[in-house]
């Protein structure tokens, strides 16, 4: 079964440093998303991306965050200057279309655990 692949699985960074989280969405999917989950809390939407531009972003996704699809396969989330409160599990997701049905929707990756120290 096709998977969304995220690397690294765990990253530790110092406060103020830049991090790039990488995702390889499912190959025929056109819509890409980043969500995050602070430990023990709900999954929160960050951004959606289609046709090489941001479709929607949440208030969490401020100027410190950016996304990019640098080539035909990767989808990256960059945090320019990390803060302690950025520590979370970051999930990439992709979908084939905008239409979600009973048997299809997002496919999530396994996540990158970001720890800011």
Residues in touch with another protein (CB under 8 A)? 4, 31, 33, 35, 41-45, 48, 50, 55-56, 58, 91, 93, 95, 98-111
Select 35 or 75, whichever has its Cβ closest to another protein. 35
Of the candidates 116, 57, 50, the one whose C-alpha atom is nearest the C-alpha of residue 89 is 116
Select 81 or 115, whichever has its Cβ closest to another protein. 115
Select 33 or 75, whichever has its Cβ closest to another protein. 33
Token couple for 108:
């999530």
- CA–CA dist 78, 30 (Å, integer): 20
**Minimum distance from CB of 71 to another protein (Å)?**
22
Token couple for 20:
């790039």
- CA–CA dist 79, 101 (Å, integer): 32
**Minimum distance from CB of 1 to another protein (Å)?**
10
- CA–CA dist 17, 59 (Å, integer): 21
**Minimum distance from CB of 84 to another protein (Å)?**
22
């Amino acid at each position: 079964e096709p998977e969304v692949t995220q690397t690294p699985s765990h990253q530790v960074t110092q406060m103020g440093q830049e991090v790039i989280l990488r995702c390889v969405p499912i190959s025929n999917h056109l819509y890409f998303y980043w969500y995050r989950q602070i430990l023990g809390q709900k999954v929160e939407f960050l951004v959606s991306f289609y046709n090489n531009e941001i479709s929607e972003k949440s208030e969490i996704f401020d100027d410190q965050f950016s996304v990019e699809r640098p080539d035909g396969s990767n989808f990256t989330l960059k945090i320019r200057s990390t803060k302690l409160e950025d520590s979370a599990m970051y999930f990439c997701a992709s979908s084939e279309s905008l239409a979600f049905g009973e048997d299809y929707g997002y496919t999530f990756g396994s996540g990158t655990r970001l720890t800011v120290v």
